[in-house]
């Protein structure tokens, strides 16, 4: 397991720049094979990332994620407030792109089924801290779903959350029979969480 910092891509992109792949040799720990990520996190999302070292280990981890057995919990600070104290956003997501804006995910009946459960952790002036549990694993699912509810993730400029660092943390990951881990709150999220009554 690894606590991935915000701002670091998991894989090298076409534009280059630093990525987690650059650091994998430092995690070799004298073993023959480099560890490999078993799933993805957006570059701007901090927190729990599972790594596997051998082909059987990576296959076992991939199976847990593919079968929906891996339990992922995220914390986010939203710009605005969701409707109520808890709920479910069940809205299909479709990838669209334009030359002017690049690609993004939108809620569209032609998209793939996507389900996110949410509950409020605390509230502040124009901000809400929430716990998010994705039940599907679509690209940008949490980001697009919160924007669809009218309260985008703070700092998520692509989906209307304004400028600055994105306030989304892969807080906990449970891999049945393997591990249960929790990521610490990153520095860039502490002030906004404190404004919502979470220290």
CATH number, domain of 143, equals 3.30.2350.10
State how many domains the chain has: 1
> How would residue 16 be classed by pLDDT, with cut points 50, 70 and 90?
low
Average pLDDT rounded to a whole number, residues 64-80: 94
Sign of CA dihedral 14, 46, 18, 12: negative
Instruction: Identify the pLDDT of residue 15.
Output: 66
Average pLDDT rounded to a whole number, residues 32-59: 89
- For 180, what's the count of Cα atoms within 13 Å in the CB-facing half-sphere? 2
Sign of CA dihedral 83, 187, 103, 139: negative
DSSP-based three-state secondary structure for 110: coil
Q: Which of 22, 42, 44, 156 is catalytic?
A: 42
pTM of the predicted model as reported, rounded to 2 decimal places: 0.91
Instruction: Identify the pLDDT of residue 14.
Output: 66
Q: Which domain holds residue 122?
A: 2-195
pLDDT of residue 159 exceeding 70: yes
Active site residue 42: yes
């Amino acid at each position: 397991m690894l606590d991935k910092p915000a701002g670091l891509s998991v894989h090298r992109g076409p534009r280059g720049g630093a990525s987690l792949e650059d650091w994998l040799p430092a995690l070799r720990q004298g073993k023959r094979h480099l560890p490999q990520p078993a799933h993805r996190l957006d570059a701007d999302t901090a927190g729990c990332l599972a790594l596997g070292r051998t082909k059987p280990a990576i296959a076992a981890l991939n199976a847990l994620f593919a079968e929906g057995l891996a339990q992922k919990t995220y914390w986010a600070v939203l710009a605005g407030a969701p409707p109520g104290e808890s709920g479910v956003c069940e809205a299909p997501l479709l990838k669209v792109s334009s030359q002017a804006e690049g690609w993004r995910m939108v809620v569209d009946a032609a998209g793939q089924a996507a389900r996110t459960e949410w509950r409020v952790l605390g509230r502040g002036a124009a901000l809400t801290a929430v716990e998010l549990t994705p039940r599907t694993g679509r690209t940008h699912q949490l980001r697009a779903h919160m924007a669809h509810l009218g309260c985008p993730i703070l700092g998520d400029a692509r989906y209307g959350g304004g400028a600055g660092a994105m306030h989304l943390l892969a807080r906990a990951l449970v891999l049945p029979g393997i591990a249960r881990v929790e990521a610490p709150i990153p520095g860039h999220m502490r002030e906004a969480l404190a404004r919502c009554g979470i220290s």
